[in-house]
Amino acid sequence: MFAGALGCKVTDKFKTNSTQALTPDYRPLELEKEIRAFWEQNNTLRKLMDFKEKNSKGIVGYVEGPPTLNGIPHVGHARGRVMKDLRYRWKTMQGYFMPFWAGWDCQGLPVELEVEKLLGVKNKRELLERVGEEQFIEECKKAIMKYHREWVKLDSLLGIFMNHDKAYWTYHDSYIEREWQYLKRAWEQGLLEEGHYVVAYCPGCQTSLSSAEVGHEDSYMIVEDPSLYFKFKLTDSQDEYFLVWTTMPFTLVTDTLLAVHPEAEYAKIKVNDEKWIMAKQRVEPVMQELGIAKYEIVETFSGSSLEGTKYDFPFKDLVPKQAELEGKHKLVHRVILEDFVDVNTATGVVHQSPGNGEEDFFAAQKRGVPIFAPFDDEVRFTSEAGAFSGLFARDADAKVVEELRKRGLLVEVKTVKHEYPTCWRSHHKLVWLARKEYFIRTDKINARVLEAVGKVKFFYESPKNRFLTFLKEGKPWCISRERVWGAPLPVWKCEKCGEKTLVASKEELVANAIEKPQGHFELHKPWVDRITMKCQKCGGIMRREDYVLDCWHNAGASPYARFTDAEFAKYVPVDFLTEGIDQTRGWANSLLLEHVILTRKAEPPYKAFLFQGLAQDAKGRKMSKSLGNVIEANKLLENQSADVCRFYMLRKCSPEGFISFDLSELRGRPYQVLSTLYHLSRFLLQNAEFDGFNPEKHTLEWAMSQSQLKKADSWLLSKLQEAVQTYTEKLETCEFNFALGILEDYVIETVSRLYVPMVRKELWTDDPETLNRRLSVYATLWSVLKTVTLLFNPITPYLSEVLYQNVYRKLDAKLHESVNFEDWPKPNEQLRNVALEEDFKTLLKCVSLVYSARQSAKLKRRWPLSKMVVVAPEEACNALKDMAELFRELANVKTAEFLEIVPAYTSQEGWVSASEGDSQVFLDVHRDERLLGEGLMRDLARRIQALRKELGYLPTDMLDGVYVAELDDETTRLLKPYLSEMEELVRTKKVHLPSSREKVKAQWHECQMDDRKVYVAISQQEA
Ligand SMILES: [Zn+2]
Ligand SMILES: [Zn+2]
């Protein structure tokens, strides 16, 4: 309800304001929609980038960490993009050019699995049979475009100023060709090689995974496995056995060695009529676990004495190949000594399956023991595994246990729940397998990699350490994948002599092809597979090695692959990147390794890297599809303001922290901060416009030259310089949460809660005598609020643009067409006054003492009092005396005395006090009729002001009349002397006090004032 009281109409001025400038309430969703359209119409994003490319004071290199287009973006993604956009807008305002161009990660396992799901196929075999490679690739391209639309929408809603016109796509031929250059360099340096190696293999995805992928955030899960104790009999003894433990019984099929620790003490124990060998320190706990009470240690010896001891492999009848192996190498089925044997768990005797374990593999390899890995692509045993042939590895567990039982070798089998790595995409339990793969021998350049990473700034210790620990492992990087949708491995191998060649461009490929490709040809399977070449060595036919590249290699090639040579030279190493903490094993890692290979230098591709914590739900639980607590970003932004979300995401915790995203918190403090800035700006606009403020003429210099700046103004300006300085420093160190704390405190506390009450009364009047003073306050607020608006721009770009257009540009048409073209504020040392800030600290402390003294006497702040006495050290007294007028105004006390000793009269009745440290405040609480009347008037004025606002009047609107009815005679008498002051306060031509409502026909509003009811009406004729 806005109009109607006494037939009043909305004024023209009100109409103009409500439709063209700022609505009385902050409605971010509507504003953001308007600003999006404004940016669109004015082509702001592109104009800005073009302008900065031509007019910058320097370059800030950047390459986009490409989101994988295999799913819908959630709030965690949104938070990451907000941090990137913060950097872009901030650095742009500082005068730099940053190539903030998009990029999309399009290939690899995550996309393939998503498409397999869409197509409803269960595994790779079914995929190739039912769909075929060509069709599958089409489907992958369709799928990424679907998700691409979601990401573009997110950027638009969130107000991310990333340029999508110059996006890179990791599946484009041009990109893949440049990615191949990295491999060419590796090839030239002898770092790219084929080899057998134990890799983690996912039976579901039917591909090997890199060690980085195995350590992925999502990979470890609690699973159930058998816990099996069994015996291997010593060949040269009738009653002696090794006691062994495993959680993977199927690996007994590929067992070829037993390992013990050379320095540990081992024991032979007698159990019934058998003797078992195990680590001595494990005897008691293991016997306890097995429930064996009767046993005795008959002998102890060091592990080294067991070296070469032969044991009976129990399944030679089931797996004849195992018997063959014994003939091939003398160490097969004997004990070896290894330091990696852990004698603190299990029995300290470890069975070795070089075909299924990394350490086992190395142990066998260095002794020349043959690797036995009889598995097919689906991790089923092949015919070499004899009786186990056709069984999926993990399904062989039961058969192994059963066969041990039959042979009297089973001691105990139970189930354990333990953490075990699963596939980060499909969550199948991983199996370690020795396979033929392609590796980049990053282990050979580990020292250079570590030197390079030492030059990177990481901002926070814990993610940095996590990254370094991982890098120090320095394992060879398995880059081959037995998949379809990926950049192909560009290695061709001769069928006859095994000669290999690496081809690193499309042109070279076509030139060397025996048959030139006909029709469509792209750098993907199956097209590249159709290219065959002639072997230069023997004339045989060369075919491509049937692998695609690890998707992390694909994305990690971006610094070179997404740019031209000239751009690469200009932008790389890039200045700053930020991605999720999971990227320590992902993009951050592959970028670094590839760059060191490409440049052959100990140079990182990025100078600084900020790892972000991940997003969790309100209760701090990980967001996951199974819990149903994933917050999709686009859905969120349908009903929530992007600015409020952006502020919240940056303010709630440090960027490295895991954010517990709680929707209910958005409406609280984040909204309040932005709303306060909005209302302060609106307050400035209305008053400044009313008084004809001209920012070009009424500058701070002008105000100073007129001697119109008061201490409060200087204090506010001084505090601003401090805020600009520390805020910028905190952005630099990526402490976004603290940076925003500074802004929040400045807006809410300094400007809104403290400064505005100091000047509100001065602005209320329209007395021409004091016009210059009012213009000076506007000059101060203009400087302060405009600066704050600019500081907010990287955080809340919509609100900053709204205020820039509707307040600043409205009053100064010469300003830029968008806030983004403004320069980043710098602290002005001339406006800084630390001594004054100290004085204000003293003043504000004493004001709050007055407030607490008032509270103890139940005296409202609005009620004027006659006298206060402040007792404080000399220096403080002098500062307060200098600001006595302001102090009396804020304290709402008529007279003040500043003393160094407590005067005796304050101990009399009628005085209350409050103190803090060396300052003490005494208040005279006695109120005569004049003070009572003025207090009543202030109480009433406040009700009327609230009503004015509720009815939609602008603070500058002059009302024709205000009616207050049903006051008792005493109140009326006390009020009468203050009616003209009240008229000024509530901005009306006349205040009437009719004894009853009936006397005036009006729309009455009931107001509660302490324990009584009063009735107020407002009359206003059409202007
Ligand atoms: Zn998988
Ligand atoms: Zn050949």
Ligand 2 mean position to 744 CA, how many Å? 71
Is residue 121 over pLDDT 90? no
91: annotated active-site residue: no
Confidence at 20, pLDDT banded by 50, 70, 90: low
Q: Ligand 1 centroid to 590 CA: how many Å? A: 20
CA distances for 1000 relative to 161, 660, 992, 1014, 1017, angstroms: 59, 58, 10, 15, 9
Instruction: Report the candidate in 517, 599, 585, 576 with the shortest Cα–Cα distance to residue 551.
Output: 585
pLDDT (tens digit per residue) in 656-715: 999 999 999 999 999 999 999 999 999 999 999 989 999 999 999 999 999 999 999 999
Q: Percentage of the chain with pLDDT > 90?
A: 80
CA 222 centroid distance within chain: 27
CA torsion, points 421, 427, 432, 437, in degrees to nearest 10? Answer: -120
* pLDDT at residue 937 tops 80: yes
pLDDT score at 2: 33
Q: How far is the CA of 432 from the centre of ligand 1 (A)?
A: 13
Residue ranges near ligand 2 (ion) with Cβ within 5 Å: 494, 496-497, 499, 535, 537-538, 540
Q: Tell me how far apart the alpha carbons of residues 148 and 525 are, in angstroms, rounded to a whole number.
A: 23
Share the mean pLDDT of the chain.
92
Confidence of residue 162 (pLDDT cuts 50, 70, 90): very high
Q: How far is the CA of 254 from the centre of ligand 1 (A)?
A: 23
Q: Using the predicted structure, report yes or no on whether residue 373 has a pLDDT greater than 80.
A: yes
- Give the model's pLDDT for residue 715: 97
Query: What are 238's two structure tokens?
Result: 């009738």
Catalytic residue among 28, 67, 73, 105: 105
Query: What's the pLDDT score for residue 365?
Result: 83
DSSP3 helix / strand / coil % (the chain, rounded to 5): 45, 20, 35
CA distance 1019 to 857: 38
Mean pLDDT on 792-812 = 97
What average pLDDT does the segment 507-531 reach?
95
Has residue 5 got a pLDDT over 70? no
Q: Give 482 Cα–ligand 2 centroid separation in angstroms.
A: 24
Q: Which of 151, 187, 245, 587 is catalytic?
A: 587
Q: Is the dihedral of CA 641, 646, 651, 656 positive or negative?
A: positive
601 an active-site residue? no
- The proportion of the chain whose per-residue pLDDT surpasses 70, expressed as a percent, equals 98
The single residue of 47, 184, 607, 622 carrying the catalytic annotation is 622
Q: Which member of 28, 66, 476, 794 is catalytic?
A: 66
| Ligand with smallest separation from the Cα of 213 | 1
Nearest ligand, measured from the Cα of 534: 2
Distance 534 CA to ligand 2 centre (A): 8
pLDDT tens-digit series, residues 961-989 = 999 998 888 889 999 999 999 998 888 99
User: Ligand 2 centroid to 500 CA: how many Å?
Assistant: 8
Tell whether the model's pLDDT for residue 630 goes beyond 50. Answer: yes
Average pLDDT over every residue of 202-228: 82
* pLDDT of 820 above 60: yes
pLDDT greater than 50 at residue 19: no
SS3 state at 231: strand
- pLDDT category at 211 given cuts 50, 70, 90 is confident
C-alpha distances (whole Å) from 513 to each of 227, 276, 522, 602 are 55, 64, 14, 37
Of the bound ligands, which one is closest to the alpha carbon of residue 112? 1
Q: Which ligand is nearest to the CA of 538?
A: 2
Closest alpha carbon to 934 in 994, 862, 983, 992: 862
pLDDT at position 592 over 80: yes
pLDDT band for position 154 (cuts 50, 70, 90): very high
CA distance 185 to 972: 94
From ligand 1's centre to the CA of 113, what distance in Å?
A: 8
Query: Strands, E, within 57-216: which ranges?
Result: 58-59, 96-97, 101-104, 163-169, 192-202, 207-209
* Ligand closest to CA 422: 1
Q: How far is residue 327's CA from residue 917's CA, in Å, rounded to a whole number? A: 91
- For 239-285, the pLDDT digits (tens) are 999 999 999 999 999 999 999 999 999 999 999 999 999 999 999 99
Answer yes or no: 354 catalytic.
Answer: no
pLDDT at residue 626, as a whole number: 78
Distance from C-alpha of 879 to C-alpha of 364, rounded to nearest angstrom:
84
CA of 497 to the centre of ligand 2 (A): 4
What pLDDT, on the 0 to 100 scale, is given for residue 163? 97
Q: What distance in angstroms lies between residue 686's CA and the mean position of ligand 1's atoms?
A: 62
Distance between Cα 192 and ligand 2 center (Å): 20
Ligand 1 centroid, distance to 424 Cα (angstroms): 7
pLDDT value of position 968: 87
Q: For residue 334, how many other CB atoms are within 10 A of its CB?
A: 19
> Confidence band (pLDDT; 50, 70, 90) for 17?
very low
Ligand with smallest separation from the Cα of 481: 1
pLDDT digits (tens, 9 = 90+) for 287-320: 999 999 999 999 999 999 999 999 999 999 999 9
Confidence band for 124, pLDDT divided at 50, 70 and 90: confident
* CA 545 / ligand 2 centre spacing (Å): 14
Selected catalytic residue, list 552, 715, 782, 911: 552
In tens, the pLDDT along 44-91 reads 999 999 999 999 999 999 999 999 999 999 999 999 999 999 999 999
Query: Distance, CA 519 to ligand 2 centroid (Å)?
Result: 29
Residue 173 designated active-site = no
* Cα of 176 from ligand 2 centre, angstroms: 27
* Mean pLDDT of the region 632-652: 97
For residue 105, indicate whether it is catalytic.
Answer: yes
Task: Tell me which residue of 364, 369, 360, 366 sits closest to 329, measured CA to CA.
Answer: 369
pLDDT tens digit string along 467-492?
999 999 888 898 998 889 999 999 99
Q: Which ligand is nearest to the CA of 429?
A: 1
Q: Which of 107, 206, 352, 583 is catalytic?
A: 583
State the pLDDT at residue 1001: 84
Active site residue 90: no
The residue-averaged pLDDT of 124-132 equals: 89
Q: Which ligand lies nearest the alpha carbon of 496?
A: 2
Identify whether the C-beta of residue 787 lies closer than 8 Å to the C-beta of residue 747.
Answer: no
Q: Quick one: pLDDT at residue 1023?
A: 46
Residue 10's pLDDT is what? Answer: 35
Residue 622: active-site member:
yes
Looking at residue 1022, its pLDDT comes to 53
Residue tagged active-site, from 414, 516, 625, 858: 625
Backbone angles phi, psi at 1018, to 5 degrees: -125, 135
**Ligand with an atom nearest the CA of residue 430:** 1
The per-residue pLDDT for 11 is 37
Ligand 1 centroid to Cα of residue 108, in Å, is: 12
Amino acid (one-letter) located at 945? Q
The pLDDT of residue 21 is 72
CB atoms within 10 A of CB 1012: 11
